[in-house]
Structure 1
Amino acid sequence: MAFLTRNTVRNKVVLITGAARGIGAALAERLAADGAKVALVGLEATEQQEVADRIGPAARAWEADVTSWEALEQAVSGVVEHFGGIDIVVANAGIATTGFVRSVDPVAFEKVIEVDLLGVWRTFRVTLPHVIQRKGYLLAISSLAAITHVPGMANYAAAKAGVEAFCNSLRAEVAHLGVKVGVAHPTWIRTDLVDSADAHPVFGRLRMGMPGLIGRTYPLSVAIDCLEAGIRRRARTVHVPRWVGGLKLIRAFLPPIIELGARSRVPAADRAAVADIAARGAREAAVTGHGGRAATR
């Protein structure tokens, strides 16, 4: 019976950040269908409420910016008051920008690190007392970008690599308290964020020109299947899909390989990026996706 309890989400309270669309919204719907009670926390209040309405009584939405201590504390207090506690936290909120370090908009660049890395730390710090109380599970959404550091995504790669390192340290800190910590590494998943990046006049070409599996985009359902399975087993790592885990075994060799491939493509892209900024402005040229626009508004 204990084994079954650990491997079910039925009647568990799951808090998911960035739940207005994409992975967050789809995961909330999947877990609610499995019997979980889902708390949706994020910036896009209207869209998030629509997700909660689709799910029904098992879901409720709270508007909060994961970079704001006060907003997170208010939201978490509301979740605990409404549902009685928190068993599982999925730190999914994340944004991305496009741009080379020498020319990208500084505000947009730094906002990615604030949301994608510091947002995970703040989310876990605020929710951790409640998760400890129920000997629950924390899952942070990192990325393939934590393993493969490609040009034009320096801030995103740094933030997602930081998330992996943060979770590895945290896992050892809270194991004696009965809390498990996981980190997920999705590759390119068909979401608003990826679609928006692919539509970028400069960096879309770089992204879609990535060779083999590293450049392939997978349906949202692939990510949700993997994440659901990971949450059920309280996994320390979730690779989306499984081949992403294999790259970790050779990650020391990846930077020079990526640099070699970039030699023929980056110079022209660098010139095009500067021209795009001159035409549209640095902020407009950098921000991608609805979530990114909401976060940098």
Structure 2
Amino acid sequence: MSHGNPLAGRTAVVTGAARGLGAGLVRELAGRGMRIALLGREAETLARVARELPVESRCYEVDVTDDALMERTARRVTCDLGEPSVVIANAGVAEGGPFVTSDPRTWRRVIEVNLVGSAVTARSFLPGLLTTRGYFLQIASTAAFGSAPMMSAYCASKAGAESFAQSLRAECAYQGVGVGIAYLHWTDTDMVRDVEAHDVLRELRAHMPRPARKVYSVEKVASWLARAVLHRSATVYAPPWLRIAQPVRPLLPLLVARTSARILPRLAESGPLPATGLLGAGGLADEEGRSR
């Protein structure tokens, strides 16, 4: 390990690494000299990302909700690349639409991947992190505290993931393992781009204050998160100005409810509000993976 770069030569595990922010994170961490374990549903896409990396890397096709598979994968990572020093629970899916007409299986899948999958990731790799006194980063969202209509599963899952990470932080601190939470807003991923393809979600986003509508590049967000990994930060906000939203968290649900009360009746005049299904190419890959 380089004294000038504490990440160099260490092993990082990133779930949801085939595309979007996950792929951006592995590129950023590889650029800082880390060996990379790429976990995800899409073997070929993972391999394409890995081929671009300037460091040793391995790809593992997994479903993050599968306890037994994730435990086996954790053992393989240790055998292939060494005990992990950084684990990032990034895998996530989303769906939109009215809760009352949502497909129960799709709704439940969002909870399973975003919340249960994060816990399975932590459970599987925590023995390695205890050995290295490493760092676990939970990818959350402003949805954890600014719950939006038509996104009930996603908001519930991210609020749960935030609470899980806070509990894990308190539990593991005395053992030298750091736990961070990343609060992301609009990032230029397939999932977010798919939001624009659905009229209701696009309209709801359009009524946010202008600064809150800005979409940030994957590269920019990944760089913010990589700095958090370097410093073992308890929290990281992407963009950084989101930090100012924390003190007013109790007010946000009221503001969202008032805005929704104005917008949703008008949107419903043209007919029933549709469900989106799982959003983005990552959502499609998850559906295809479960059908195999």
Q: TM-score range by the shorter chain?
A: over 0.9
Instruction: Name the structure 2 match of 1:156.
Output: 154
Instruction: Name the structure 2 match of 1:232.
Output: 230
Please list the CA deviations of residues 110-140 of structure 1 after superposition, one character each: whole Å capped at 9, or x if unmatched: 1111000000000000100011011000001
Q: How much does 1:148 deviate? A: 0.8
CA pair 275-162 structure 1, distance change in 2 beyond 3 A = closer
CA contact (8 A) 2:97 2:273 kept: no
Instruction: Name the structure 2 match of 1:279.
Output: none
Identity between Structure 1 and Structure 2 (%): 35
Distance 1:196 1:48 in 2: 21
The reply to whether residue 288 of structure 1 matches residue 256 of structure 2 is no
Instruction: Name the structure 2 match of 1:119.
Output: 117
Instruction: Name the structure 1 match of 2:14.
Output: 16
Instruction: Name the structure 1 match of 2:49.
Output: 51
Distance 1:140 1:61 in 2: 20
CA pair 271-83 structure 1, distance change in 2 beyond 3 A = farther
Q: What letter corresponds to residue 18 of structure 1 in structure 2? A: G
Instruction: Name the structure 1 match of 2:239.
Output: 241
Please list the CA deviations of residues 135-194 of structure 1 after superposition, one character each: whole Å capped at 9, or x if unmatched: 000001000111211111111111111111111111111111111100100110111110
* Aligned with 2:187 (options 183, 186, 189): 189
Instruction: Name the structure 1 match of 2:28.
Output: 30
The reply to whether residue 142 of structure 1 matches residue 140 of structure 2 is yes
Moved more, 194-203 or 238-247: 194-203
CA pair 274-39 structure 1, distance change in 2 beyond 3 A = same
Aligned residues, how many?
A: 288
CA contact (8 A) 1:52 1:61 kept: yes
Q: How much does 1:53 deviate? A: 1.1
Q: How much does 1:270 deviate? A: 4.1
Q: What letter corresponds to residue 17 of structure 2 in structure 1? A: A
CA pair 272-193 structure 1, distance change in 2 beyond 3 A = farther
Instruction: Name the structure 2 match of 1:61.
Output: 59
Structure 2: 5+ residue stretches without partners: none
Structure 1: 5+ residue stretches without partners: 277-281
Please list the CA deviations of residues 50-96 of structure 1 after superposition, one character each: whole Å capped at 9, or x if unmatched: 10111155211100000111221222111111012111100000011
Q: How much does 1:30 deviate? A: 1.1
> After TM superposition, what 4+ stretches of structure 1 lie above 3 angstroms from structure 2?
268-273
The reply to whether residue 169 of structure 1 matches residue 160 of structure 2 is no
**Is the partner of 1:14 in helix, strand or coil?**
strand
Q: What letter corresponds to residue 96 of structure 2 in structure 1? A: T
Moved more, 239-248 or 115-124: 239-248
CA contact (8 A) 2:14 2:38 kept: yes
**Is the partner of 1:227 in helix, strand or coil?**
helix
**Is the partner of 1:19 in helix, strand or coil?**
coil
CA contact (8 A) 1:198 1:208 kept: no
**Is the partner of 2:84 in helix, strand or coil?**
coil
TM-score with structure 1 setting the length = 0.92
Distance 2:42 2:199 in 1: 26
Instruction: Name the structure 1 match of 2:37.
Output: 39
Q: What letter corresponds to residue 138 of structure 1 in structure 2? A: F
Q: What letter corresponds to residue 208 of structure 1 in structure 2? A: A
* Aligned with 1:75 (options 73, 76, 80): 73
Q: What letter corresponds to residue 192 of structure 1 in structure 2? A: D
Distance 2:212 2:67 in 1: 36
Distance 1:243 1:87 in 2: 28
Distance 2:206 2:86 in 1: 35
Q: How much does 1:222 deviate? A: 2.1
Q: How much does 1:105 deviate? A: 1.6
Distance 1:108 1:270 in 2: 22
**Is the partner of 1:250 in helix, strand or coil?**
helix
Q: What letter corresponds to residue 41 of structure 2 in structure 1? A: L
